[in-house]
Amino acid sequence: MKRRFWLVFLLLVLPLLLASCGKEEPAEVEVEEPPVFEQREDDGEDDPADASAYADKFDFYMQDDGTWFVGAGGNRSRASVVIPESHDGIAVTGLAEGAFESCTKLRHVTMPASVTKIGERAFNGCTALETVILSDNLTTIGSRAFCDCAALSDLTLPAALDTVYEDAFRGCAALTALTIPSHVSALCDYAFYGCSGLQTVTVESAATVLGYGLFAQCTSLRSAALPEGTTIIRADLFNGCSSLERFVVPDTVTLIGRDAFAGCKALREITLSAALQAIDPDAFSGCSSLTEIVLPDAVTKIESGCFRNCLLLEHVTLSSNLSSLGAFAFKGCISLTDVTIPANVKTVGQGVFNGCDSLMAVRFETTAGWYSYSTAENIDVSDPAAAAAFLFADGSGIARR
């Protein structure tokens, strides 16, 4: 019985012992860590020679004339861009509308000689854009093309340039100097509005049409020169140019538009054109440093508010051919003491001298026939002091029969 038990025991246990003895522990394998590579971001600061490396990332738009206009495409995050001269053997002649609009990392742009047009809003809102090398053959800069490019400081307009459209460089606060080439035929409305760092402006050709508000709110502008042959200074041209101290109106100018020099607080001297015939409303309002005005004999009418709030204005010489003084023309000129009204004047508008606290005498060269607008009663203007008191207080104005 015991033999049988041990026999059965050995038959059961022996295979297990043999299997255990033949089994080896697995060798420990050393796992090599994969190499770590430093990742570098593309900062877009390419050498121009490397432009071909990203040339195929532009968008290209075929034009009716069989040439390409270009858009940013995959280059919107670049800091430096060289526009290609051609694509697939076909010339690139322009930048598409909104081509690089709001590309806030873009700092430098170079354009080839093949480019003749920059489309609307092409670089609108490129707030970091510092320098642009324009094509020598560029003829057209579209509206808002460089609007609010606040860092743009290096700009040379090419000689071939013909037209700069509305608001093209509006808000380019870093521009300091500007020369408009003689070939330019039109600078459209507000093209350089709010270029608050602009200090000097020279327009080379009288044939250049200067749009409304062209240099308005250029608050650092100290020197501006328009060429002889210019005939109109349009409305708001220098409105709010609070650093402009002197200005000579070309002898060929016949009209100064509404608010043309309004708010030019530093303007101390203005030389008016001998050919000047009309000054529109509020043309010089708020020129608080202006001390003297001599109106040439060709001026026949001063519109309303023309010299309103010229706080330091002491001396005014009116045109001998003047026929009308508009309402509030000299309102708030608190330093004005003595005015002579020429013989040809037939109407003096309401409130012409309201707020002229220092006014002591208004001398009428023609004293007969004056009456009040409000009462139709005759007014005696023969006494300069009495005339001054009446016109200071009267709100309706007077006329001559």
Rounded to whole angstroms, the Cα distance separating 70 from 59 reads 6
- Which pLDDT score, from 0 to 100, does residue 38 have? 35
Specify the DSSP class assigned to residue 396: S
Closest Cα to residue 168, out of 159, 8, 180, 49?
Answer: 180
Please say if the pLDDT value at position 31 is more than 60. Answer: no
pTM, two decimals, is 0.84
Instruction: Name the least confident of 31-45, 99-113, 238-252.
Output: 31-45
CA 209, 70, 48, 42 torsion: positive or negative? positive
The CATH number for 247-401, chosen from 3.40.50.720, 3.80.10.10, 2.30.31.10, 3.40.50.300, is 3.80.10.10
- Write out the two tokens for 138: 């560029």
| Residues 6+ positions from 389 with CB-CB distance below 8 Å | none
Closest Cα to residue 373, out of 343, 352, 349, 345?
Answer: 349
Q: Where does the pLDDT of residue 74 fall: very low under 50, low under 70, confident under 90, or very high at 90 and above?
A: very high
Q: Where does the pLDDT of residue 14 fall: very low under 50, low under 70, confident under 90, or very high at 90 and above?
A: low
- Beta-bridged to residue 338, according to DSSP, are 361
Give Cα separations from 367 to 319, 346, 370, 401 (angstroms): 17, 11, 7, 11
Please say if the pLDDT value at position 320 is more than 70. Answer: yes
**Mean pLDDT rounded to a whole number for the chain:** 89
- Which pLDDT score, from 0 to 100, does residue 55 have? 72
- Which pLDDT score, from 0 to 100, does residue 375 have? 86
Q: Are 357 and 393 in contact (CB under 8 A)?
A: no
The side-by-side arrangement of strands in the sheet containing 80-82 is 80-82, 108-110, 131-133
Region for residue 167 given its phi and psi (left: phi exceeds 0; alpha: psi -120 to 50; beta: otherwise):
left
Task: Give the count of beta carbons closer than 10 Å to the beta carbon of residue 200.
Answer: 14
Tens-place pLDDT, residues 196-212: 999 999 999 998 999 99
Mean pLDDT (whole number) for 271-291: 96
